[in-house]
């Protein structure tokens, strides 16, 4: 009986590095690694040479030097004596504020338009299609600039709002009027809105040179507490319903729990609105919002809203008709079908692309440069960069910050996504 | 006698009730089917009415012939209108919106390059040969017509007619050969747009000839991979060391070429098209490679791809453009100075390649595993499997995403104004609005630019829908 012969011993040949699949991937990776290292080394060498030629070094010390420029919109105290680092933080906060309002409004617009585009009302669905196509196919930059230019060139000057005694006596109207019962004034300089003011505020404490308003903190705490209490109420109602089959009436209790504590707290703190009033040459009191901010928020939310509308529409259409038919067969009303059957399933389809739209919106806030909005790019990557001449450090910090914001948003939304995702076992 | 109550004929069908036919039925079904719908309809009508009331007089009182905004307003006021559009600004400045500061007597060059682009695209966009030929004919006619309208010298017109006629003949008789036009097009377009001696492009092309020659010589002895690598290395050596001498020698022997145009003279939609088209063409292959890299089994390749994609997707395009204009001087050898348009194109390409990679990765993930296994079972190697089985299907699935990335890229070409290039939206409009004659004008230039962008982007999205329908092979 012949023994099975052993497999012939293959001697290693050099060509096996390329033609043998066992070694090929190693070869490729080694070659790529060498090339990448060479490339990085080349870049680093060039950078060192160029820095030496320009007599520069890499040093982040400039962040602690005096900035010397003013920023109009500031959420935490800042003067031109503050440091470049603080200016960068102001810019970051400005970026985040625009991104926040943009995301909120874009979501509201997107959901409305997306649902209305599916409506069987011919006129409304056509109008919504026109809106979506118009905004998706024209550059965002155009909308930002157009809104800004229209606001700052068509609106009257502040002095046109002046009402003198002679005008009252003769009964002539001023050239321009405020809107919403004399509470909002849109001039060519900015928008003046009523400001919320507390007579008996709790003051503020400084945490690391950032003042934290205690009244706001307390109000937020009360709101969170009432939402939690409302949840407890609803949970109890459900427990009773499951036990006895009858659901206790909760709507007025819910309303009371949600709103009464906050209203009571605000009354206790002496809450009222401070209206902008025309005095001298400009409006005094209230909050003045710059047109660059308004234009950015309007353009970003309309533009992103068009994309979100398409996402919402696609999400609702992705749910098969059988689902709503089954819900109707169970005897659910259309509203409950939407909230209990369609939306929870549609959300699963909607959320991942929605996340990337939020990310896009956040990144697109950097277009504020077109209307001189001082966001992160305007402060750290703009004035600070030009003043100190430290391009490498500023760009590096700026890119890192954007990268971190993106990663945070996407991970937060991924957590949310995994909580609504279909639980598969 | 007969039973007279049994009818022997069919009655003619009665007309439907008035509420169930014609316009009334349509109105009831589509506009007033319930209280909520009626309310929405009325709201919609109000919105439309308000918009029309606001803008119709403005459109109707349009002024086309004037030398300044003040003159426009006078004409509108003389006609008794309150407000009117002043399209005269577009009439006065259209050439800047289209060509930037490109020399006026050379406008035929971008036009010809633009026309040739559609010829070069014919084999890519249409695989129906007759349609491709018709498109070439149409493009040829339009190109020559616009060249004549732009007062191009007669000899140049004649040359263009001859070239276009030749291309049409190729498209009609041997449509498959048109792919060579596509391959040559980048060099032709570069030569037409930037000018300079014709030998630059020819000498660069010789490099590709070097690759082919080296590959042919070595392939039988060393195998495909080594031969290709040797060819690429030889070509790289040729491009870096020898090409300059070859160009110089050829130019000295036979100095033919076009007057050179420097990059800062480019602007308007010409610039948007150069950046957009080049970046679209380059980013697709790069995106495919990145997507494959991200799904690769090789750890190093995968890490590099993921790192690149996530970094690029995490930062705004503006920061990358600023990198191109501010930081590249640090990363390149001292005293290198290369063209800003080229730098911007490279960065925009890398940017959209990262987004494309994610879109294509989605397409790859959507393919059933059976397809990969079937390819393996047939004994195809990696690249064969990708080329013949995986990519055709994955790319087909991801067409909508790919095209919307392209649309985004084209819209993003407007951002180059922030690094000092003259884009149509911000760059040119700023110049126009800074002119004392047109100070204070805003709706007209933005509407003009917006409409052109809309037409191009909308056209692209419609084309992608057509392509999807065309490529659909599943059961209907």
Report helix, strand and coil shares of chain A as percent, to nearest 5. Answer: 65, 10, 25
Position with higher pLDDT, A154 vs A374: A374
> CB–CB of B92/B67 below 8 Å?
yes
What residue spans define the domains of chain B?
34-92, 265-357+400-476
> Both tokens of residue B215?
């590959």
DSSP letter at A79 equals -
Q: Do B275 and B417 touch, CB atoms closer than 8 A? A: no
Range of the domain at A226: 195-274
Rounded CA-CA distance A264/B268 in Å is 60
Cα-trace Rg, chain B: 29
Domain end call among A234, A249, A274? A274
- Read off the pLDDT band of A37 (50, 70, 90): very high
Q: Would you state the pLDDT for residue B129?
A: 67
Task: Indicate if the pLDDT at residue A110 is higher than 60.
Answer: yes
User: Is B395 in contact with B285 (CB distance < 8 Å)?
Assistant: no
Q: Report the domain count for chain A.
A: 2
- Integer angstrom CA distances of residue B26 from A119, A123, B49: 15, 12, 21
What residues of chain A lie within 8 A of the CB of B442, using their CB? 146, 149-150, 153
Residues 6+ apart with CB under 8 A from B430: B417
For A229-287, write each residue's pLDDT tens digit.
999 988 998 899 888 888 888 888 888 888 888 888 888 877 777 777 777 777 777 77
* Residues A178 and A301 occupy one common structural domain: yes
For residue A2, pLDDT beyond 60:
no
CA atoms of B147 and B140, how far apart (whole Å): 11
Assigned superfamily of B265-357+400-476: MetI-like (1.10.3720.10)
Same domain, A309 and A335: yes
| Dist. CA A131–CA A128, nearest whole Å | 5
CB B266 within 8 A of CB B100: yes
Work out the angle between the directed axes of helices B399-412 and B268-294 (0-180°, nearest 10). Answer: 140
Between CA B61 and CA B325 the distance in angstroms is 44
The pLDDT value given to residue B326 = 84
- Counting every residue written for chain A, the total comes to 425
Please give the share of chain A, as a percent, with pLDDT higher than 70.
93
Q: Does the structure show a pLDDT above 90 at A105?
A: yes
Inter-chain CB pairs, A–B, below 8 Å: 153
Alpha helices in A6-160 (DSSP H): 16-19, 21-53, 84-117, 122-136, 140-154
pLDDT of residue A1: 52
Q: What is the 3-state secondary structure (H, E, C) of A329-382?
A: HCCCCHHHHHHHHHHHHHHHHHHHHHHHHHHHHHHHHHHHHHHCCCCHHHHHHH
Strands A204-207 and B257-258: unpaired
Q: pLDDT at position A228, please? A: 92
Please list the residues that pair with B197 across neighbouring strands: B257
- Whether the per-residue pLDDT at A59 is higher than 70: the answer is yes
A307 with A408, same domain? yes
Position with higher pLDDT, A298 vs A290: A298
pLDDT of A422 reads: 65
Interface of B with A in 342-401 (CB under 8 A): none
pLDDT tens sequence across A310-348: 999 999 888 888 898 999 999 988 778 888 888 888 888
Q: Which residue of A has its CA nearest to B45?
A: A123
Instruction: Check pLDDT > 70 for residue A424.
Output: no
- In the prediction, which pLDDT does B467 show? 86
Q: What are phi and psi of A290, to 5 degrees?
A: -70, 150
Position A169 scores a pLDDT of 77
User: Average pLDDT for residues A106-116, to the nearest whole number?
Assistant: 92
A322 and A202 inside one domain = no
pLDDT score, position A135: 93
Paired strand residues for A283: A278
Are residues A71 and A151 part of one domain?
Answer: yes
Computed over every residue of chain A, the mean pLDDT equals 84
User: What pLDDT, on the 0 to 100 scale, is given for residue A7?
Assistant: 66
Regions of chain B short of the pLDDT cut 70:
1-4, 126-129, 474-476
Q: What distance in Å separates residue A28's CA from the closest CA in chain B?
A: 9
State the DSSP H helix or E strand holding residue B462, giving kind and residue range, or none if neither.
Answer: helix B443-471
8 A C-beta contact, residue B351 and residue B322: no
Per CB-CB distance under 8 Å, the chain A contacts of B457 are 136-138
* Chain B residue whose CA is closest to A363: B316
Q: Which residues of B touch A399 (CB under 8 A)?
A: 315, 319
Neighbouring residues of A51: CB distance < 8 A, sequence distance ≥ 6:
A57, A58, A392, B330
Helix, strand, or coil (residue A412): helix
H or E segment to which residue B109 belongs: helix B108-125
Task: Indicate if A237 and A182 belong to the same structural domain.
Answer: no
CA triple A147-A152-A154, angle to 5 deg: 90
Q: How far apart are CA B417 and CA B271, in angstroms?
A: 11
pLDDT, average across residues A361-382: 88
Chain B contacts of A140, Cβ < 8 Å?
A: 411
> CA–CA separation, A251 vs A247, rounded Å?
11
Q: Which one of A214, A246, A274 terminates a domain?
A: A274
- A187 with A200, same domain? no
Radius of gyration of chain A (CA): 30
DSSP state of B177: G
> What's the gap between Cα B415 and its chain centre?
16
Q: Is residue A341 part of a domain?
A: yes
Other beta carbons within 10 Å of B470: 11
Cβ–Cβ of A403/B332 closer than 8 Å?
Answer: no
Where on the phi/psi map is residue B104: left (φ > 0), alpha (ψ -120 to 50), or beta? alpha
Tell me if B218 sits within 8 A of B226, measured CB to CB: yes
Is A406 within 8 Å of B314 when comparing Cβ atoms? yes
Q: In CATH, what number is assigned to the domain containing residue A124?
A: 1.10.3720.10
pLDDT of residue B3: 60
The mean pLDDT value for A17-39 works out to: 85
Q: Which residue has the higher pLDDT, A305 or B475?
A: A305
Closest by alpha carbon to B429, among B419, B440, B137?
Answer: B440
CA A132 to chain centroid? 20
What residues contact A387, with CB distance under 8 A and at least 6 apart?
A67, A68, A69, A84
Q: What is the pLDDT of residue B289?
A: 93
pLDDT attached to residue B128: 66
| Chain A contact present for B226, CB below 8 A | yes
Give the separation between CA B61 and CA B447, rounded to whole angstroms.
16
Question: CA A79 to CA B120: how far, in whole Å?
Answer: 58
CA-based nearest distance A262→chain B, Å: 34
The string of pLDDT tens digits covering residues A374-415 is 888 888 888 888 888 888 889 999 999 999 998 888 888 778
Contact B414 A146 (CB under 8 A): no
Take residue B300 and report the two structure tokens written for it.
């190093």
Helices assigned H by DSSP within A138-213: 140-154, 165-170
Q: Give CA B131 to chain center in angstroms.
A: 20
Yes or no, beta carbons of B330 and A36 under 8 Å apart: no
Asked whether residue A302 falls in the same domain as residue A419, the answer is: yes
Q: How confident is the model at residue B66, as a pLDDT?
A: 83
CA distance B172 to B149: 27
A394 located within any domain: yes
Out of A222, A245, A274, a domain closes at A274
Structure tokens at A315: 């999400």
Structure confidence at residue A119 as a pLDDT band (50, 70, 90): confident
Phi and psi dihedrals of A271, rounded to 5?
A: -80, 130
Higher pLDDT, A320 or A111: A111
Q: Which 8-state DSSP code applies to residue A289?
A: E
* B216-229 core/surface letters (b: 16 or more CB in 10 A; e: else): eebbeebeeeebbb
């Amino acid at each position: 009986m012949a023994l099975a012969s052993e497999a012939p011993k293959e001697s290693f040949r050099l060509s096996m590095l390329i033609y043998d699949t066992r070694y090929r991937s190693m070869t490729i990776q080694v070659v790529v690694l060498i090339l990448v290292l060479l490339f990085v080394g080349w870049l680093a060498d060039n950078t060192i040479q160029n820095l030496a030629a320009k007599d520069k070094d890499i040093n982040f010390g400039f962040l602690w030097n005096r900035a010397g420029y003013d920023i109009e919109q500031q959420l935490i105290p800042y003067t031109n004596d503050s440091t470049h680092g603080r200016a960068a933080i102001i810019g970051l906060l400005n970026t985040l504020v625009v991104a926040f309002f943009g995301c909120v409004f874009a979501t509201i617009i997107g959901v409305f338009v997306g649902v209305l585009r599916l409506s069987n009302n011919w006129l409304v669905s056509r109008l919504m299609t026109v809106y979506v196509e118009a905004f998706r196919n024209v550059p965002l930059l155009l909308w930002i600039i157009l809104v800004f230019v229209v606001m700052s060139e068509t609106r009257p000057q502040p002095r046109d709002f002046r009402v003198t005694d002679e005008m009252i006596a003769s009964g002539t109207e001023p050239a321009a009027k405020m809107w919403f019962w004399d509470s909002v004034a849109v001039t060519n300089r900015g928008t003046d809105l009523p400001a919320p003011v507390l007579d008996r505020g709790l003051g503020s404490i400084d945490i690391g040179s950032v003042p934290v308003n205690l009244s706001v903190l307390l109000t937020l705490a009360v709101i969170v507490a009432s939402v939690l209490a409302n949840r407890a109420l609803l949970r109890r109602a459900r427990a009773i319903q499951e036990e006895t089959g009858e659901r206790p009436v909760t709507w007025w209790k819910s309303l009371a729990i949600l709103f009464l504590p906050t209203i009571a707290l605000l009354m206790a703190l002496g809450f009222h609105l401070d209206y902008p009033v025309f005095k001298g040459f400009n409006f005094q009191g209230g909050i003045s919002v710059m047109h660059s901010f308004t234009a950015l928020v309007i353009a970003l939310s309309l533009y992103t809203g068009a994309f979100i509308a398409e996402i919402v529409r696609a999400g609702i259409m992705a749910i098969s008709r059988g689902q709503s038919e089954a819900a109707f067969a169970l005897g659910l009303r259309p509203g409950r079908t939407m909230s209990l059957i369609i939306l929870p399933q549609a959300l699963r389809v909607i959320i991942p692309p929605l996340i990337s739209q939020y990310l896009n919106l956040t990144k697109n806030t950097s277009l504020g440069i077109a209307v001189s909005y001082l966001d992160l790019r305007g402060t750290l990557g703009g004035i600070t960069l030009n003043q100190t001449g430290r391009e490498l450090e500023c760009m590096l910090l700026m890119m890192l910050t954007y990268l971190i914001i993106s990663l945070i948003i996407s991970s937060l939304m991924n957590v949310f996504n995994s909580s609504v995702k279909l639980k598969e076992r | 006698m007969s039973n007279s109550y049994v009818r022997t004929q069919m009655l003619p069908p009665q007309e439907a009730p008035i509420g169930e036919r014609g316009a009334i039925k349509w109105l009831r079904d589509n506009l007033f089917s319930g209280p909520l719908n009626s309310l929405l309809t009325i709201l919609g009508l109000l919105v439309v009415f308000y918009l029309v009331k606001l803008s119709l007089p403005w459109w109707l009182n349009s002024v086309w012939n004037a030398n300044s905004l003040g003159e426009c307003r006078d004409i509108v006021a003389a006609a008794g209108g309150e407000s009117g559009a002043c399209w005269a600004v577009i009439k006065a400045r259209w050439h800047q919106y289209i060509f930037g500061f490109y020399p006026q007597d050379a406008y035929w060059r971008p036009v010809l390059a633009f026309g040739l682009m559609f010829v070069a695209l014919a084999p890519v966009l249409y695989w129906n040969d007759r349609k491709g030929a018709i498109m070439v004919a149409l493009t040829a006619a339009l190109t020559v017509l616009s060249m004549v309208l732009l007062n191009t010298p007669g000899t140049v017109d004649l040359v263009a007619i001859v070239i276009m006629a030749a291309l049409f003949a190729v498209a009609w008789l041997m449509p498959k050969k048109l792919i060579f036009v596509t391959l040559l097009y980048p060099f032709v377009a570069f030569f037409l747009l930037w000018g300079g001696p014709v030998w630059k492009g020819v000498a660069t092309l010789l490099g590709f000839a070097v690759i082919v020659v080296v590959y042919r010589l070595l392939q039988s002895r060393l195998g495909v991979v080594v031969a290709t690598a040797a060819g690429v290395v030889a070509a790289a050596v040729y491009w870096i060391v020898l090409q300059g001498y070859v160009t110089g020698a050829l130019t000295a022997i036979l100095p033919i070429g076009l007057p050179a145009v420097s990059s800062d003279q480019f602007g308007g939609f010409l610039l948007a098209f150069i950046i957009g088209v080049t970046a679209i063409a380059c980013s697709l292959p790069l995106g495919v490679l990145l997507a494959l890299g991200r799904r690769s089994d090789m750890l190093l390749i995968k890490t590099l791809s993921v790192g690149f994609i996530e970094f690029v997707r995490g930062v705004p395009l503006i920061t990358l453009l600023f990198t191109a204009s501010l930081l590249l001087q640090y990363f390149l050898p001292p005293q290198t100075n290369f063209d800003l348009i080229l730098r911007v194109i490279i960065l925009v390409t890398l940017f959209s390649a990262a987004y494309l990679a994610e879109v294509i990765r989605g397409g790859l993930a959507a393919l059933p595993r059976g397809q990969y296994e079937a390819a393996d079972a047939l004994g195809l190697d990696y690249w064969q499997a990708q080329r013949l089985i995986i990519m055709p299907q994955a790319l087909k699935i991801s067409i909508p995403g790919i095209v919307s990335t392209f649309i985004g890229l084209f819209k993003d070409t407007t951002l180059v104004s922030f690094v000092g290039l003259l884009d149509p939206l911000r760059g040119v409009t700023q110049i126009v609005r800074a002119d004392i004659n047109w100070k204070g004008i805003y709706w007209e230039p933005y509407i003009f630019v917006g409409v052109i962008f809309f037409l191009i982007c909308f056209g692209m999205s419609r084309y992608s829908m057509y392509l999807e329908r065309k490529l659909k092979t599943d059961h209907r």
